[in-house]
């Protein structure tokens, strides 16, 4: 999905919501800020995550960063290709670089997410 049509969390996750399932990844801005990625620890399918719970970790040469759940629910799919092709997160963050799919338990938090212009504005401020 084009980035303009996605929703964003303050912690730089993007969300594409359709048919009760949220597909989640991290933004191009976040990938660039992390610098050289070395490892991703994906969660197990079937795990239930709470809103804002850390469910995944990405390691770069500089830091280890959590990925937080922008919605609560059950993880129904993970992108198993990522650990062996971390460059996908930078090359194609909004399509092939998806990380997990969560079956959304409560849709209300989706309304709290930013649209693309609001997210761009936040990134521009953070970049200073």
Partner 1 sequence: MGSDSDCVVRRIQYLGAITKSEAINQKSSIAMPYIYNTEQDVQDMLAAIGAGSIDELLDMVPDQLRLKRPLDLPAAQGEMELEQTVHALAAKNRHAGDTVSFLGGGSYDHFIPAVVDAVGSRGEFYTSYTPYQAEVAQGNLQAMFEYQTLITRLTGMEVSNSSLYDGASAAAEAVLMSIATTRRKGRVVMPETLHPEYRQTIVTYLECLGVDSVTVPTPGGVVDADELRGALTDDTACVLLQHPNFFGALEDTDSITAVTHEAGALMIAVFDPISLGLLKRPGGWNDGDGADIAVAEGQCLGSGMQYGGPYLGIMACREKLVRRMPGRIVGQTVDRRGAPCYTLTLQTREQHIRREKATSNVCSNQGLFALRATVYLSLLGPEGLKDTASLCLQKSHYLAEKLCESERFEQAFAAPTFKEFVIRDRENKVDELVKTALAPPDGDRGYFAGVPLGQFYPDLSDCLLVCVTEKRTKAEMDAFAGVLLGTPKDAKSVKLVAAD
Pairing mode, if any, of strands 21-26 and 13-18? Answer: antiparallel
Tokens matching residue 77: 């799919």
Give CA angle at 113 (107, 116), nearest 5°.
Answer: 130
Residues 35-54 that bind partner 1 (CB under 8 A): 38-39, 41
Residues shown for the chain: 128
**Does residue 63 interact with partner 1 by CB under 8 A?**
yes
- By C-beta, is 58 or 113 nearer to partner 1? 58
* Helices (H), ranges, the chain: 28-34, 87-91, 116-126
Contact segment (CB under 8 A) with partner 1 among 19-27, 56-64, 67-75, 118-126 equals 56-64
Residues 66-85 that bind partner 1 (CB under 8 A): 66
- By C-beta, is 10 or 62 nearer to partner 1? 62
Interface residues with partner 1 (CB under 8 A) are 38-39, 41, 57, 59-64, 66
């Amino acid at each position: 999905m084009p980035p303009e049509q996605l929703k964003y969390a303050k912690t730089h996750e993007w969300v594409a919501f359709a048919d009760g399932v949220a597909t989640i990844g991290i933004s191009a801005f976040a990938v660039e800020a992390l610098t050289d990625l070395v490892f991703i620890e994906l969660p197990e399918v079937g795990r239930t995550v709470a809103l804002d719970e850390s469910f995944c970790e990405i390691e770069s040469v500089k830091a280890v960063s959590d990925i937080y759940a922008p919605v609560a629910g059950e993880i129904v799919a993970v992108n198993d290709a990522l650990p062996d092709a971390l460059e996908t997160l930078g090359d194609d963050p909004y399509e092939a670089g998806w990380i997990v799919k969560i079956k959304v338990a409560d849709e209300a938090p989706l309304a709290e997410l930013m649209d693309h212009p609001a997210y761009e504005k936040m990134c521009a401020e953070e970049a200073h």
